[in-house]
Amino acid sequence: MTLFVETGQGTYQGLIDEESKVAAFKGIRYAKAPVKELRWKAPVKTEPVKGIIDVSGDFGPSCIQPVDEIELASLHQQSEDCLMLNIWTRKLTAVEEETDQSLSKWPVMVFIHGGGYIGGGAADPLYDGKQFAANHDVILVTINYRCNVLGFLDLAVLAGPEYDDARALGILDQVCALQWVNENISSFGGDPANVTVFGESAGGASVLNLMVTDQAAGLFNKAICQSGNLAISKNALIQKQVILDFYKLTGVQNIKELFELTADQLRSACEALLKKYEIQSEIIFFPYPDGKILPENGLNALRQGAAKNINLLIGSNADEFRYWKLYYDDYLDYIEFIVQALGEVADIDLTDTESIERCLKSYPTAVNRQEQWLCLLNDLLFRVNSLVVAELQSGWADTYVYHFTWPSSIPGLGACHAAELPFVFNNMDTQSGAAFTGPNPPAVLAEKMQACWVNFATTGNPAHEAIPAWDKYEKQKRQTMFIDLEWHQESDPGKESREILSRLCFK
Residues 10-68 pLDDT 10s = 999 999 999 999 999 999 999 999 999 999 999 999 999 999 999 999 999 999 999 99
Q: Which of 113, 136, 403, 417 is catalytic?
A: 417
- How confident is the model at residue 349, as a pLDDT? 85
Span 283-298, average pLDDT: 93
Which residues, at least 6 apart from 18, have a Cβ–Cβ distance to it below 8 Å? Answer: 1
- How confident is the model at residue 100, as a pLDDT? 44
Mean pLDDT of the chain: 95
| pLDDT greater than 90 at residue 101 | no
Indicate the length of the chain as a whole number. 507
403 is catalytic: no
The angle at the Cα of 315, spanning 227 to 383, to the nearest 5 degrees, equals 70
CA distances from 134 to 20, 401, 447 (A): 6, 27, 12
Q: What is the DSSP string of 87-140?
A: EEESHHHHHHH-S-TTPPPEEEEEEE--STTT---TTSGGG--HHHHHHSS-EE
Structurally, how many domains does the chain consist of? 1
Comparing 171 with 236, which gets the higher pLDDT? 171
Query: pLDDT by residue (tens digit) across 370-392?
Result: 999 999 999 999 999 999 999 99
- How confident is the model at residue 93, as a pLDDT? 83
Q: Which of 320, 362, 391, 408 is catalytic?
A: 320
For residue 178, which of 310, 13, 35 has the smallest C-alpha distance? 310
- How confident is the model at residue 233, as a pLDDT? 81
The values of phi and psi at residue 132, to 5°, are -55, -55
| pLDDT greater than 80 at residue 96 | no
| pLDDT greater than 80 at residue 160 | yes
417 is catalytic: yes
Query: pLDDT by residue (tens digit) across 322-355?
Result: 999 999 989 999 999 999 999 888 888 889 999 9
Distance CA 64, CA 270 (A): 10
51 within 8 A of 6, measured Cβ to Cβ: no
How large a percentage of the chain has pLDDT more than 90?
Answer: 92
CA distances from 499 to 47, 290, 332, 367, 505 (A): 51, 28, 25, 22, 10
Q: For residue 128, what is the domain's CATH number?
A: 3.40.50.1820
| pLDDT greater than 90 at residue 97 | no
Query: pLDDT by residue (tens digit) across 194-228?
Result: 999 999 999 999 999 999 999 999 999 999 999 99
136 is catalytic: no
Q: Which domain holds residue 119?
A: 2-505
- How confident is the model at residue 34, as a pLDDT? 98
- R_g of the chain, CA atoms, integer Å: 22
238 within 8 A of 331, measured Cβ to Cβ: no
Q: pTM for the full model?
A: 0.97
- The torsion region of residue 51 among left (phi > 0), alpha (psi -120 to 50) and beta comes to left
Distance CA 214, CA 208 (A): 12
Span 130-148, average pLDDT: 97
Distance CA 142, CA 27 (A): 10
Q: Which of 201, 206, 227, 386 is catalytic?
A: 201
| pLDDT greater than 60 at residue 243 | yes
| pLDDT greater than 50 at residue 92 | yes
Which amino acid would we find at residue 34? P
Band (pLDDT 50/70/90 cuts) for residue 120 is very high
